[in-house]
Amino acid sequence: MKPQPIENVVFDVGNVIVRWSPPEIARLAFGEEKFCESLVRSIFKSQTWMDLNIGVITETEAKEQYQLNLGLSELECQRLFYYVKQTQILLFGTVDLIKRVKTAGYGVYALTDNVREVVDYLKTTYDFWSLFDGATISAQVGCLKPQPAIYHALLAQNGLRAESTVFIDDMPNNVRGAQAVGISAIQFENAEQCQRELRALGLEI
């Protein structure tokens, strides 16, 4: 059976469009003296962070929980979430790639595990969000990659067919999660490599 041509390209956000580095965030927020890998895990692998990403608590509530559960001060929590946002700088070349994909006539979408307040920050800080024809965000659908439900939500929300869609993500597990529901997927390294792999799938960009 002949493969379906790709009609839609779906981009992850963290470490595909903008930088995402929890160790860097922790170093900036707490300094070298307090920084350690266990601190990074206790913040970014915690139930609090997961709840924030699936939208059941707000950033304000997350700060309160970190103060209660980890003994962080109010000031430390303010610095933490300041750097959560401010370290998300654009990665070289990806926005230009999105524009080329869109100009070539393909649908352009986002699928991201993300926090409502961070999404608001990205929308007001950069202009790439307006390029998306649709976006599926974990905090709005209540599940995370690589759970099958979030890929099904992407398809259902945007009226996409898995066989004509390709998903781009930096994490191998998330790539495999997309493939498991019939979506083609590329593991992102950089914009140039990603463009080559999109062309290999038949995209004229």
**Burial class of residue 168 (count of CB atoms within 10 Å of its CB; 0-12, 13-18, 19+):** buried
Tokens matching residue 176: 């495999």
DSSP label at 57? S
For β-strands 184-187 and 165-169, DSSP reports them as parallel
What pLDDT is attached to residue 1?
A: 53
- Written as one letter, the residue type at 139 is A
Which residues in the chain come in under a pLDDT of 70? 1-2
Instruction: For 43-73, write each residue's pLDDT tens digit.
Output: 999 999 999 999 999 999 999 999 999 999 9
pTM recorded for the entire structure: 0.96
Radius of gyration of the chain (CA): 18
Cα–Cα distance for residue pair 151/162, rounded to 1 Å: 9
Give the residue from 111, 114, 112, 110 showing the smallest Cα distance to 49: 114
Tokens matching residue 140: 């709005």
